[in-house]
Amino acid sequence: MSTTTNTNTNTNTNTNTNTNTNTATTTALLQVKDLVREYTLPREHLFRPPGTVQALNGVSFSIAAGRSLGVVGESGSGKSTLARLVMALDAPTAGTVELLGRNLHQLPAEDLRQARRDFQMVFQDPYGSLDPRQTVERIITEPLQAQGQATRAEQREQAGQVLAQVGLRTNDLGKYPHEFSGGQRQRIAIARALITRPRLIVADEPVSALDVSVQAQVLNLMQDLQQQFGITYMLISHDLAVVNHLCDEVVVLYQGRIVERGSPAELFRNAQHPYTQSLVNAVPQVQPGRARARRAAAAAAAAAKIA
Ligand SMILES: Nc1ncnc2c1ncn2[C@@H]1O[C@H](COP(=O)(O)OP(=O)(O)OP(=O)(O)O)[C@@H](O)[C@H]1O
Ligand SMILES: [Mg+2]
């Protein structure tokens, strides 16, 4: 006897009509397999084939729901390329990106548009990534406008809610980006990412344009939101201290490949790859008491000068 899908109208418990029912429970939220992205460079010689850049060269990892993966690597190592492929803003030369068991790069256009509510992105530059001519309300509700389902009143209400969740006020909705500080603008960018209640947020250097004290506030906010909503993060940074703040696991990209992976603590303790070692050495070591001693010495010297 074959088991057919029961479409009985009084069973309203399962709205998921996905045919792949047994993968959803076992797969990670995000699974990236053997990802390759090759770029063709502009042709320089008439009779020679154009050169290519291997921006990603066989990258595989997965992130479990509600966890955070840090991606670190030097400039040009392929971090933003990886982010674009995970966000389905660019197509891979080879390999797959599966979110909730669906291969994003093989979804029909309309399905992909709908799926976009599950994954959102926060960019590095809080000045460049917000359109200066749009009000905060228009900026924040843009992902909802793209989905095309909520009414204007619903959009406004949800915008007010997410703005409060990132620590801004509802009456900021009518303002423009230039009326905010860098940290506040990045909160607006996070609110925009949050408005579709995504499962995954990809953040490409989200705090590197901010002052160190503001960096900590924004990272703490991201952490609070993760606890509140169970968001999964892929956090890209060249700063191991930033990744350490938020991530359970880190992969180190070097020339388009993952050369090392582990918890931030493991990497701090026992980095193997020379590039990871240089990153670890770049993190300022906090030595309690040292700054206090330095300040006391400076105060004593100043007092001696006055006397
Ligand atoms: N559209 C493109 N066309 C050609 N080459 C590209 C393109 N995008 C990226 N690349 C190349 O791919 C490699 C990886 O670039 P990518 O932007 O992913 O690096 P990144 O790790 O994000 O660097 P950064 O830390 O400077 O942001 C680089 O060599 C870059 O020049
Ligand atoms: Mg980049």
Profile the chain (307 residues) by mean pLDDT over runs of 10 residues.
Answer: 38 38 60 96 84 94 96 93 96 96 95 94 83 94 88 93 93 94 92 94 92 89 93 93 92 95 91 88 61 63 64
Determine the distance separating the centroid of ligand 2 and the alpha carbon of 238, expressed in angstroms. Answer: 9
Ligand nearest to the CA of 204: 2
**What are the φ and ψ backbone dihedral angles of 144, each rounded to 5 degrees?**
-70, -40
Burial class (CB in 10 A: 0-12, 13-18, 19+), 263: middle
pLDDT at 1: 37
Distance CA 137, CA 160 (A): 8
CB of residue 300 inside a 6 A radius of ligand 1: no
Residue with the smallest CA separation from ligand 1 atom 27 is 75
CB of residue 127 inside a 6 A radius of ligand 1: no
pLDDT at 164: 92
pLDDT at 30: 97
What pLDDT digit, counting tens, does each position of 150-181 carry? 899 999 999 999 999 999 999 999 999 999 99
DSSP string of 281-307, one letter each residue:
HHSPPP-TTHHHHHHHHHHHHHHHHH-
pLDDT at 3: 38
Determine the distance separating the centroid of ligand 2 and the alpha carbon of 81, expressed in angstroms. Answer: 7
Ligand 1, from 38, 54, 72, 81: best to mutate by most atoms within 8 Å of Cβ? 81
Q: Which atom of ligand 1 is nearest to the CA of 253?
A: 21
Q: Which atom of ligand 1 is nearest to the CA of 84?
A: 18
CB of residue 79 inside a 6 A radius of ligand 1: yes
pLDDT at 71: 96
Residue with the smallest CA separation from ligand 1 atom 29 is 76
251 in helix, strand or coil? Answer: strand
Q: How far is CA 291 from CA 55, 83, 282, 285, 295, in A?
A: 42, 38, 19, 12, 6
What number of helices (H) and strands (E) belong to the chain? 11, 10
R_g of the chain, CA atoms, integer Å = 23
Ligand 1, from 79, 89, 259: best to mutate by most atoms within 8 Å of Cβ? 79
Identify residue 76 by its one-letter amino acid code. Answer: G
Distance CA 84, CA 198 (A): 17
Q: Write the CB contacts of 62 (distance below 8 Å, at least 6 apart in sequence).
A: 27, 28, 30, 31, 32
User: Hey, which bits of 78-169 come out as E strands?
Assistant: 94-99, 102-103, 119-122
Residue with the smallest CA separation from ligand 1 atom 30 is 76
pLDDT at 5: 37
pLDDT at 6: 39
pLDDT at 285: 59
Global confidence as pTM = 0.83
